[in-house]
Amino acid sequence: MPLDAHLIGFAEALRAEGVAIGTSELNDAFAALGEVEWTRAAPFKEALAATLAKSPDDRRVFDLVFERYFFRAAEGAALEAGVREGAAAEAGMAGSDRIDFDALREQILEAIRDGDEAALRDLARLAIAAFGRRGQGSGVLGVDVQRIRRALGLKSEPPGLVKGEGAAQELPLTREQIRRFEAQLRRELERAQIERTQSLPPARPLNELDRALPSGPAQDLAAVHRVVTQLKRRLATQGHQARGHARHAHVDVRRTMRASLETGGVPVVLKYKPRRPRRPELYVLCDVSTSVTSASVFFLSVLHALHDSFRRMRSFVFVERISEVTDVFARERSFKAVSDAISKDAGVADVSGYTDYGRVWREFLMQVEDDLHPRATVIVLGDARTNGRDPRADIFAHVAEKAGRTFWLNPEPKLYWNYGDSVIDAYTPYCEAYECWTTRQLEDFVRALTRPGYH
Amino acid sequence: MSTPVVPASVEEVADGLERVGYLPGESTALVSYLAARLGKPVLVEGPAGVGKTELAKALAKYLGRSLVRLQCYEGLDEAKALYEWNYRKQLLRIQTEAEGTGWQAVQDDIFGEEFLLPRPLLQAIASPEPVVLLVDEIDKTDQEFEAMLLELLSDFQISIPELGRIEARTHPVVLLTSNNSRELTEALKRRCLYLWLDYPSAERELEIVRLHAPDLPDVVAQRLVEVVAMVRELDLKKPPSIAESIDWARALLLLGAQDIDQQTFRETLSIIVKHRTDLDTVAERVGVRLAA
C-alpha cells in the first residue's frame, strides 16, 4: 500500500476512536509531511500529531492509535513480502546456550536509564528468547509481559529521596520507565506471535481504560475547577437576550458620537451603554450523609470550586439538619482544610445520621426565605434518599417557586433513581434533575444550562 | 531589526531558537518550522509558565520579525483588537470643513485610512514587514471573539465595512496561546497546527537553567532541577514555572549557595511557590527531604 493510502487509513482509525478529523486536517497533514524529513520516525509522527491531534486527550489517543496502526501496517507488509526474522534470530542466539539473567538485567537497567529505545528493543527480544527457552510462555501477552518483568526483578519504587551526597547516586526506576520496557516487550511478543501464526490479529478498538487520562484526586480537583469556571460564564450570560429593553439605560456618549458621524454629526440615533450582566446569586445545598460518602468528596470539591468563582454565593451542607458553611469556605482556602472543618464542626447529623429532606427544606426556607428572589439559582447536590421519611415536596416546590431556577444534581446513575427509598420523582416537577458523578457529567450539566429555548 | 530569516530545516529552527536563548523541544522546533513554511497559525496549549509566550518572542527574534502582541481578556471586543475609527479626529474634520465642502467629499474623507486607529490584529495584517502575531491567552475571550478571528486566521484578511477588505501584505506567523481554561471551538482548532507544551524533562530543564545562569555550580543546578520537579508533583494551586526556576537559579547564584540545604530552601522558597497554603505544603513535603 502506498503512503497516502496508509495515511488515510490512519485517519480513519483515528476517527473510529472519536478524534474529529476533517478533510482540511488531512490536507494539512500531507502539506506538513512535504516540509519535513518524513522518512525519520520522530518528525513523521510529530508532523502528523501537530496537524491531526488538537487537544491533550486527542494526542493521547493519537499516540496509541499511531503505535497500533503502523505496527500492524509494518507487520502486514512483512507478511505479504514473506520477511521472516525469527529463524535467523534464533540461530544467532543458539551460540550462547544460556543467557545470564543478571547480566541481562544490568543491561536493561542501563538502557532504561539512558532512554535508549533501540537498545531496549533488542534487550526485550533477548529477554523473550531467554524466557521462552524456560518453556513458561502462557500464550497471553499481558501475562507473559508481567512474568518476564518479574523474572528480571524489575520493580518500580516510590520517588527517591534527595540525599545530601553528590548527584551521582543511582536513581531507582520510575513507573514510567518500567512501562516503556513493558511496551517494548509487548510489541516484540506480538511480533513473534504474528510470525508464528502468519496472520494479523483482528484490530480492536482501544478500551476505555487505555484512553482515559491517568488521573489522581489532584487532577480531578483541577478538572472540577475548570468546569465550574465555565459554569460561571454560562450563568452570568444566561437569559439576557430574552430580558428585553432595560427601562433606564445610560447613553454611551462615545458610541453615540461615533454613530452621529453617519448623519453629519447630528446625534439622531442614541446608543446606550450595554448592561453589564448581573452577578448570579447561588444557593447550593450539599448532602454529606453516609449514603453519598463516595460522592461527597466530589460534591465538596464542586462546592469548593464554586466558591472560588462566585462571590455572591451561600452554601449549606445537610444530613438531618442544615448548616450554613459559607464562612468556612471564605476562611479556608485549601480543599483539605475545608473538608476537615466541615466534617468536624458543621453539626449536621443529629441522631440517626440519615438524611431528612423534609426538615432540611423547612430549615432552609426559614433561613433564606426573605433573600430568595427570581434571579437566584438554587442547586441541590444529593441522592434524594429519604430513608422512608416524608419528602415534603410541597416545601421544596415553595423554594423552587421563590428562586428563579432550581437544579438537582444526583450522584447516582439514572438506573437507581426512584429505586428503594429514592424519591427524586417527587422533586423533579419543580427542578431540572441531572445525573452527576463525574466531571464529564458536570460538563454536560453546564452545557444543558445553555441549551437554546431553555430558561 | 535584522533581515528576515526563512528557515530551511527543522534543525535550523532549533539552532536559531537556541541562539536567542530558547531551548525548544523536538516537537516545538518542528511545529515552529511548519508554521513558518506552511503559513498556518499555531495553537499552543499547556500549563501556565512553560514558555508559551516566550516561544513567540524567541520566534520573532530568530526570524528577525517584530512581535505584535494581543493580550486577550474577558470582554475584549473588536474595537480593542481590530480597529476603531478615530471619532474625535473625524468630528474635528467635520467641524473645520463644515462650510463649503460638499457632503460627498466629507463623507469620503472621514472614512479614509487617516482616521483609522489600527489595533494589534490590523497592525499585524497591514504591516509592510512580515511580523509574528501573538494572540495571548485566547481562552480568556468569549466565543464571539473567536469567531471573529476565523476570517483572519484562514484568509489573513479583515473586512471593514466602510473601507472594504484589507488583505495581508505579508504573511504573519501567528501563535495563539491558551491555558486550557475552556475548550476552544472546533472551527478555530481546525485552522491551526497544534502544539502541546508541557513542563520540560529534568535534563532539558537543567539545560535551560544552565543557559540562563551559566555560573551556577553544577551540583546546585542539578539539585534545583530535582527539587522543582518534586514540587511540581505536589498538588499545588500554582506549580512553579520555568521562569521561576530560572529566577531561583539566579537568586541562588547571587547568594553564593554551594548546595540547596534545608535552610537555603526555606529562605528562598518564596521565589518558586507563591501561595500561603502552597508554602506550607511544600515546606512540609519537600523541605524535610533535604539535608539539614
- What pLDDT score does A166 carry? 38
B124 and B104, same domain (yes or no): no
Residues B215, B107, single domain; the answer is no
Report d(CA A388, CA A266) in Å as an integer.
72
Q: In terms of domains, do B123 and B176 share one? A: yes
Q: Residues B209-256: pLDDT tens digits?
A: 998 888 888 888 988 998 888 888 887 778 888 989 999 999 999 988
Instruction: State the cell numbers at B267.
Output: 529562605
Minimal Cα–Cα distance from A271 to chain B, Å?
Answer: 15
Q: For position B169, which CATH number holds? A: 3.40.50.300
State whether residue A258 sits within 8 Å of chain B by CB: yes
Beta bridge partners of B166: B158
Q: Over the range A294-330, which residues count as b (16 or more CB within 10 Å of their CB) and which as e?
A: ebbbbbbbbbbbbbebbeebbbbbbbbbbbebeebbe
Please report whether residue B4 resides in a domain. no
Domain that holds residue B218: 202-287
Residue A438: is its pLDDT beyond 80?
no
Residue B3 within any structural domain of the chain: no
Query: Do both B150 and B206 map to the same domain?
Result: no
**Residue B265 within any structural domain of the chain:** yes
- pLDDT of A240 reads 44
Number of other CB atoms surrounding residue A291 within 10 Å: 20
Q: Residue-wise over A111-143: b if at least 16 C-beta within 10 A, else e?
A: bbeeeeeeebbebbbbbbbbbbeeeebeeeeee
Is A50 close to B110, i.e. CB distance below 8 A? no
- Model confidence over A422-432: pLDDT tens digits? 888 888 888 88
Predicted pLDDT of residue A227: 73
Residues B106 and B21 in one domain: no
Last residue of some domain: B196, B227, B253? B196
Grid cell of A215 as nine digits: 488521573
Which among B85, B226, B230 has CB closest to A258? B85
Residue A261 to residue B85, Cβ atoms within 8 A: yes
> Residue B2 falls within a domain, yes or no?
no
Domain stop point among B196, B212, B247: B196
Q: Nearest CA to CA, how far is B28 from chain A (Å)? A: 9
Same domain, B100 and B78: no
- Cβ distance A359 to A321 under 8 Å? yes
Residue boundaries of the structural domains of chain A: 3-81, 86-157+171-203, 244-276, 281-449
A276 → chain B, closest CA residue: B75
Q: Say which CATH topology domain A281-449 has.
A: Rossmann fold (3.40.50)
Beta pairing, strands B116-118 & B83-85: antiparallel
Residue B213 lies inside a defined structural domain of this protein: yes
CB contact A39 to B (< 8 Å): no
Flag if A50 and B194 touch (Cβ within 8 Å). Answer: yes
Q: Which pLDDT score is estimated for A353?
A: 67
B34, B90, B233 ranked by CB distance to A32: nearest? B34
A and B: number of Cβ contacts within 8 A: 111
The helix/strand/coil state of A117 is helix
A88 interface with B at CB cutoff 8 Å = no
CA distance A270 to A50: 49
Of A50, A229, A261, the CB nearest to B193: A50
What is the per-residue pLDDT across A224-267, written as a single tens digit (0 to 9) for each? 777 777 676 666 555 444 444 455 678 888 888 888 888 888 88
- Check residue A212 and give its pLDDT: 42
Residue at a domain's end among B168, B196, B224: B196
Chain A residue closest in CA terms to B287: A162
B160 and B180 fall within a common domain = yes
B54 and B177 inside one domain: yes
Average pLDDT across chain A, whole number: 74
User: Against a cut of 0.90, is the pTM above it?
Assistant: no
Does some domain include residue B65?
yes
Q: What is the pLDDT of residues A331-371, one digit of tens each?
A: 776 667 777 777 666 666 555 567 888 888 888 888 888 88
> Do B196 and A59 count as a contact with CB atoms less than 8 A apart?
yes
B56 pLDDT band, cuts 50/70/90, is: very high
Cβ count within 10 A of residue B130: 20
